[in-house]
Structure 1
Amino acid sequence: HLETLIKGFRQKLFSQELRFKDDNGNDFPEWEEKKLGHYLKHKSVRNKSFEVIRVLSVSNSKGFILQSEQFDNHRVASKDVSNYKIVKKNDIAYNPSRINVGSIATLKDFEEGIVSPMYVVFNLKNTLNLTFFENLITTHLFKHLVKIGCSGSVRDSLNFEDLESFKLKLPTLNEQIKIADFLISITKKNVSERKILAEFESQKKYVLQNMFI
C-alpha cells in the first residue's frame, strides 16, 4: 500500500539509509548532531486582553481541534481564558502529558487560537524546515526520545527544556527542503491515488527511479 511505502521512505530518509544529492549532483554535507533547542523558539504569549476567543486542543489523531468538540456541552474547560497561551498559524503546540501518545501538532486551519496554560507552544528558527520537522516527529527515533524524556519525569510529561535537550543528527537546510519536498510529493500522490491499486507498482518504480534526481 502507498501509505506503507511513504512510511518506509520516511524511515530510510531519516536514518540516512537513503540520501539525496544536491542540485549539482554532489553529496550533501554530513548530518550534524545538535540539541533540538538550537532550532526552536519558545513562545508564551498570554491572552491577557481576551482578544482571542477560539479555544483549541491538540489531539493525537486530528491535530488541532476546537476544544468545544471535546466537551459534550460545548463549554470551554475554563471560563477565564486570560492566562491561556496564544497560538499563531504555523506555531507548534503539545500537551506535555500527552506528547507520548502523539499529541503534538502545527496550527494550520486557523490564523490564531488559544490553548490551555499547561501546553507548550513554540515555532522554528529559519534553520529548520517545518515540513521536515513535522515528519521528524513521526519517526521511531523522535518517539523513543519522547519516551525516555517522559519516563524521567514524575508525571510522565515532557516540558520544553526536555524537548530542547534532545540530541539529533540533522541535515543542512537545503537537504531538509529536498527531503520535505519529496515527502510532500508522494503524500499528494497517495491522497489522489489511494483507491487505484493498479497504480501501486508503477508509482513504486517511478519513486525509485526518481529518488536521486
Structure 2
Amino acid sequence: MISIWLLLLVTKVWEQRKLLSNIESIIDYRGKTPKKLGLSWNGEREYPALSAVNVENGKINLSKTEHFGDAYLFSKWMKKALKLGQVILTTEAPVGNVAQIKEKKHYILSQRVIAFETDKNLLDDFLYFLLQRNNSTLLRYSTGGTAKGISQKSLKQVKINLTPNISEQKQISQLLNVVKNLITLYERKTRLLGKVRTFLTQRLFSNSSKVSLYFDNKNWSEHKISEFLTERNEKVVPNSSIPLVSFTVEKGVTPKSKRYNREFLVKDDNKKYKITKKDDIVYNPANLKFGAIARNKFGNAAFSPIYVTFITKLNPAFTEFLVRRKNFINLALKYQEGTVYERMAVKSKDFLNLKIYLPNSSRDINHIAQILQSLDTLVSLNKNKVSLITLIKKELLNTMFI
C-alpha cells in the first residue's frame, strides 16, 4: 500500500479553483420525462432510470430503482451515454451524494442527479473523492426550504482546492480506492454472514427431519413458553447499582438517552420501577410488532412497568434466538389486543401460553446457541471493521485534501 506519509511529502502546490474549471460538460436531464418524449416507462431492467434515491454511501443502489426504460427510450433520452468511471452527483433531496459508474449498464439519467465529463487535467477517481470531501461546501451553495437543491448556476460559483498534478491525483485516488474497496468487502461479508445466520436460524429451530443434518438427537417436542419463562415482577427505586434504563427496538436494554429521558416530569423521588436482570428476556407488549424483544445484556437495571421481563430456565442466548425469530413474533401477534393499531399489545399471559417445539436435549440447545452466537460475533466484528475503516477514510479525506 502507498505510504500516507510519502503522499504527504510529495504533495505539490494545491490551487483554489472553481469546481467546474476542469469539467468539459455536465450531463443534466432533470425535468425530462417519458411523457414529454411521447413514451412511457416499462419493465426492461437493462435500462434502469437513475435518480437521487439510487445514490447513497458513495455507490449506486439499483435495488431502489423506481423506473425502467427500453432501448428506444434510452436512445431518445440519453444523447450522451454514461461511461465507466464517470462521476454522478445528486442535486436535490439530498444535495451532494456522489457515486461512480462501475458497471456497463444502459443507465437513464433521471431526476435530481447529474453527471460530469472531465478534461485531461482531472481524473474521474480524483473528482469522486474531491466531491466527497467538499460535500459541506456544496451544501453551502444550495438553496430552498425543506428540500434543498443546487443549480448549475450555483455550481459555477463553487470553489475548491485541488492539485493540478495528475500523478498526485492518481496516487491519492489509488490509496483511497484501496480503503473504499476494503469497506465494500467487509460490508459484503457482513451481508453474507447475515444471510447465513438467517438460514441457520430457520433450519436449527425447525423440528423437521432436516435438523438431523446438524444434531444426533432428532427428538423435538412441543412446550408452552411458561415451562421455561417466568415473569419477573419485582420493583425498586432506582439507585447507583440498579440504574434507570430504556428499552428500545434498536438497542434493547440501554442507558437512558436524552431522547427517552423524561424522568424530570416525575415528581415522586421514591417512585418504584420494574427490575430486570442480566439475561432476562424483555419485550414491549405494544411494540412487539416492531421487533421490541431482546435479552438483557446490560445487567441489573430498572425500567418502566409497561415492559415485561422474564427469567429463563434455558440457555439465555438460545432463548433470545428463539423469541426474536420472525416466525415466533408473527405467532405471538395473533394474540395482540386493542382497537388502535399503535396500542395493540400482546399480554404476558397470552405470550406465556404460546406453544413451540424445542429439542429435548440440553446439549443440542447449547450447541444451537453456540453456533448462532459465533455468527453474531462474526457479524459484529465485520460491522466494527466497516466503522473503523470508514473513519480512516474520513480522516484521509480531511488530511489529503487541503
- Does the alignment reach a TM-score above 0.5? yes
- Which residue of structure 1 aligns with residue 85 of structure 2? none
Cα offset for 1:168?
A: 0.3
Q: Which runs of 4+ in 1 moved over 3 A?
A: 16-19, 49-53, 77-81, 152-155, 190-196
Residue of structure 2 aligned with 1:133, choices 319, 327, 332: 319
**Greater Rg by CA:** 2
SS at match of 2:211: coil
Which residue in 1 is equivalent to 2:296?
Answer: 107
Partners of 2:247 and 2:286 lie apart in 1 by: 12
Deviation at residue 153 of structure 1 after TM alignment: 4.6
1:148 to 334, 356, 366: 334
> In structure 1, what is the Cα distance between the partners aligned to 2:206 and 2:197?
14
Pairwise mapping of residues 64-143 of structure 1 onto structure 2 (< 5 A)? 64-71=253-260, 74-76=261-263, 78-80=266-268, 82-109=271-298, 111-125=299-313, 128-143=314-329
Contact 2:238 2:302 in 1 (8 A): no
Partner of 1:58: 247
* Structure 2 CA distance for aligned equivalents of residues 55 and 166 of structure 1: 30
What is the CA distance between 1:33 and its match in structure 2?
Answer: 0.4
The corresponding residue for 1:170 is: 358
Match of 2:104 in 1: none
Are 1:93 and 1:104, in contact at CA under 8 Å, matched by a contact in 2?
A: yes
Number of equivalences:
184
**Please, which of 205, 211, 218 is the counterpart of residue 18 of structure 1?**
211
Indicate the larger mover: 95-104 or 80-89: 80-89
Distance in 2 (CA, whole Å) between partners of 1:140 and 1:18 is: 19
TM-score, length-scaled by structure 1: 0.76
Question: Residues 84-130 of structure 1: CA distance to partner in whole angstroms, max 9, x if unpaired?
Answer: 10112222222211122111222212x321111221121102xx211
Q: Structure 2 CA distance, aligned partners of 1:10 and 1:66? A: 29
Question: What residue number does 1:186 align with?
Answer: 375
Alignment deviations for residues 34-75 of structure 1 (CA, whole Å, 9 cap, x no partner): 11101011111111x55466222211111112233424xx44
